[in-house]
Each structure stands twice: as C-alpha cells, then as structure tokens.
Chains A and B, each alone.
Chain A
C-alpha cells in the first residue's frame, strides 16, 4: 500500500506541480492583485479594497463597451459559424466524389494561427474589398475596418471563415453516426427532405450542437489574436474585445491591478456563460 502511494506521487506529481504553479497559483494571486494598486513595474502592490472593481463598474465606460461588443460579437459569430458549419457538413456528406477535396478546403483555415489570419484579412478588407467595390460599383465594400460596424462584421466574417470548417468536421462525425436505415424508413413513410432533416437528423446530432455551441461561444468570447491583428480596437477602441481591453489596461497604461480586476470579472463571465450554455443544451438534448 505504501508502495502504491509512492508510485502515485511519481506519476502524478511532476505535471501536478507544474499545473499548480502555472495555472492555479496565478489564479489565486490574481484575485489578490485585483484588490491592489499593482502597476506591474514596481513589485510592491498596496491593498486598495474594492476600488478597482468600483472603477471598472462605474467609471470605465470603455470596459463596458467592450463587454457589450464582445457579447454581440459572440452571439452573431456563434450563430453564423454553427449555421455555416452545419450546412457545409450536410453538403459534404452527400454521395459525391468532391467530398474529400471540399472538406480539406473548408477545414484548412482552422489550422492557420489567428494572428496571421488577422493580417491576411486586414489586406482583404482594406485593399481587396476596396478594389472590388470600385470595380463592381458596390460602395458598401469600400472603407472596411474604418468604422465600428465594418470592424464588427470584419471580425465576424474572419471568425466564420476560420471556424466553420472546424464545426463542419464535428457535425460530419455526428451525421455519419446516424443509421442510414432510419432515414430510409422515414423516406418510405413519405417524409420529405426537410421533414427528415428536422425530425431525424437534427435531434440525433443534438449532442454535437452542444459541443459546437460550447466551442464557438468560448472561443468568440476569449478572442484575442484575431482582434489584435485585424482591428487592434480601431476606430477609437470601439472594436476592442474583452481580452484586448485587459491586455491594453495592463501593458499600455501599466494599471495591472485594474487589469486584474477586469480579468477576474472576465473569468467569472466566461465560466458562467459556458456553464449556463452547457446546462441548457444538455436539457434540450434530453427533451428532444
């Protein structure tokens, strides 16, 4: 018995210690620092009580704006990405020789890092859209990323382009696990394509929707690289999402204590939103 405890330690301890040092201890320290005036440069951090939190909630309009922007962005991109991803999955699970090539193409953007994709799309939106708009006489294609609205949709398009293929792969796996006999039986019973989709396919892939919604929601809410590379918050920090706001509060304004208070609020929000979403999706799965 004593031997097995020793082995338990040998196997678990290295990664546990690293995990505690890298994730858990900083999380606890972070809660402490959120109550201080830590500036990141000097090591001393004096206790200031709730004042960081009060400042965030009362005076920091930019944080509130970025919270709202992030929420709107998350909502729109969750819907777009899953809708496109599921439609692509339906397209590439038909009997067709193109399927493999199509899947490879739709999935590819997901592999490229967010920072690089942000730069790629900066060129597309500012230069290629402008040029296309001029040629086709479509004025709405001009001046992208120079306004809050085009910055918002720019981010949403970039994320949809990057993540739809990822969702497609998840939905393809779910679609392929549906027994063909079920669909055949429904066909014989006279159900049309739409009815089969609504009454058989969608209920049976519901668990995959839970996963898809979870992944897109938490990814959109935590988005950083793409935001930094595509708009960097411009114009006037109006397209700044939460993670970028925290980053800039710390590294541009050297207000680490304030940034950490925001980070704690961020942590609680992410945890609450994703847990609520999982709860409701699981409930729906059962009801369906």
Chain B
C-alpha cells in the first residue's frame, strides 16, 4: 500500500521538484536581468518589481552586442557550413559504401578514427597552415574570414557526418540505383535524383548535429575571425562579458538575448533535435 502511494504521488512530486531545480538557474538569470545594478546587489532572490525594475537593460545589451549583426553572422555561417557538410559528406559516404576497394575501406577508417582527435591538439598548426596556404597565393587573409571558417567546419564536421551517412546507406538496397544506371543515369544524376531523397531522415540528424555544434562553437571562430564585423554570437558574447562582468544587469540581459534563438529553435524542432542527438550518439 505505502509502495503505491510513493509511486502515485512521490515520484511525480520528485520529478517536478527536479524540473524546478533544473530551471532555477535560468529563472534567476532572467529575473535579475530585469533589475538595476543596485537591485541585484540588494537582493538576488527578489522579483524585478518596483524601483529596481529595469527593462532597458535589454535595449542597451542588444545595442552593445550588435545583436542583429552577430545573429545574422551566426546564422549565415551555421546554415552555409551545414549545407556544405551535408552535400559533400553524403556524396562521399555513398561512394565509400558502394565502392568495395581497400582504398575505400582505408578512407572510411581514416575519417572514423580521426573522431578521437581533440581540436586543441591541432589548432595551433592549423592556424599556421592556413596562413601558409593563404600566403602561397598571395592572399594571407583568405582563410581568416567566413570563407575560411566554413572551409574548416567542413573539415572538422566530415568525420561524424560521413560515419552517420555511411551507417544509413549500408542498409539501402542497391536495386534502385542499378535500375537508374540501366536507364542511362550517370552517377551524379543517380545520387541526386534517387539516393539523396532516400537519405532524408539521416540528413535531418546530420544537419541538426552540425548546426548545433557550429552555432555554439567559440574557439574556432575566435582563432579564425579577425574582423569585428564578422563576429558570431558566442564570440561577441565573450568580449561583451569581458567588458561588463562587473555590471551584471547588462551581462545577464546579454546572456538572455544570446540564449533566445536556440530556445525558440528548440521549441519548434524539439522532436527532431532529440531524435538527432540520440541517433548521433548511438552510431
């Protein structure tokens, strides 16, 4: 009997309490982002009412973050990199699955094995190599630009994306593409007209995983983006926070602004995100 009471009431109460505990930090940040500096200093736990209510923190943080620009920089770099990764990773994975040679097996092994390489172990020589390559064609800044950043995301994103596509394509029967070849399609047509549409479920997964990584990435843009007008949200946030870490009312409003896009995205694409993240890790 007592066991049943725990089951019926205890566990839902416990899980609700946990949910409140999980949301508490964000609640604190949000309520304090609406207070004046003095309001935060006097009482962190209070609600933002009365004389300490200060919604204009948001206006100032928004301007200081140059949020419109940094948002569109992030969006542009994330979307373009993700699309390019999807195009080239799916093409390569299909070829690697369908070609049964030693070279093909070796290349797949190389892509998969490099998953273990941490970014920090290659970042210094990577930056060096990028300036050497730019110097060779007399454009030293060529790779230190959004173009260079997207190029590097293709390189770093290739491993996981190829592994995911590889696993999915293995289970697609070859009859369809054989029929297409007999009908006179070349490989390019076969892939884009017949195969790629079949890959849609895994393409969503690959897209979400790469987009989330690139959107939140800080260190690579920090090393690569030299000009202030191309700063992404995390990059801008880093400098903004350095300036205002003693002025929590502005810093907190900035943090809330920076979190809003991803939370909106989560509300609309939650099902796909959870599915993508689960599949991405199980493979």
Contacts and interface: CB of A to CB of B under 8 A. Distances in A.
A120 interface: yes
Contacts of B25: 120-121, 124, 128, 161
Contact of A123 (B111, B248, B263): B248
Contacts of B265: 111
A116 B114 contact: no
Query: Secondary structure at chain B's binding surface: helix, strand, loop or mixed?
Result: helix
B125 interface: yes
Given A11-B94, A105-B19, A119 B278 contact: no
A116 B124 contact: no
A236 to B, nearest CB: 19
Interface string B16-47: 10110011011011001000000010011100
Contact of B88 (A15, A104, A112): A15
A101 B104 CA distance: 45
A114 interface: yes
A8 B108 CA distance: 13
B52 to A, nearest CB: 14
Interface string A1-31: 0001001101110111011011111110110
A180 B76 CA distance: 46
B183 to A, nearest CB: 17
B129 A25 contact: yes
A267 interface: yes
B120 A243 contact: yes
B282 A135 contact: no
B105 interface: no
A197 interface: no
Contacts of B262: 111-113
B95 A8 contact: yes
A112 B23 CA distance: 13
A96 B191 contact: no
Shortest beta-carbon contacts, A-B, top 6:
A22-B155, A113-B216, A29-B125, A267-B121, A131-B44, A11-B95
Given A11-B95, A14-B91, A123-B32, 18 more contacts: A10-B188, A12-B95, A19-B114, A22-B156, A23-B155, A23-B158, A25-B125, A25-B129, A27-B125, A29-B128, A91-B18, A96-B15, A115-B218, A128-B28, A130-B44, A165-B22, A243-B118, A266-B121
Interface of B: 11-12, 14-16, 18-19, 22-23, 25-26, 28-29, 32, 40, 43-45, 88-89, 91-92, 94-96, 99, 104, 107, 110-111, 114, 116-126, 128-129, 133, 151-152, 154-156, 158-159, 162, 186-188, 191, 212, 215-219, 234, 237-238, 241, 245, 248, 251-252, 255, 258-259, 262-263, 265-266, 270, 273-274, 277-278, 281-282
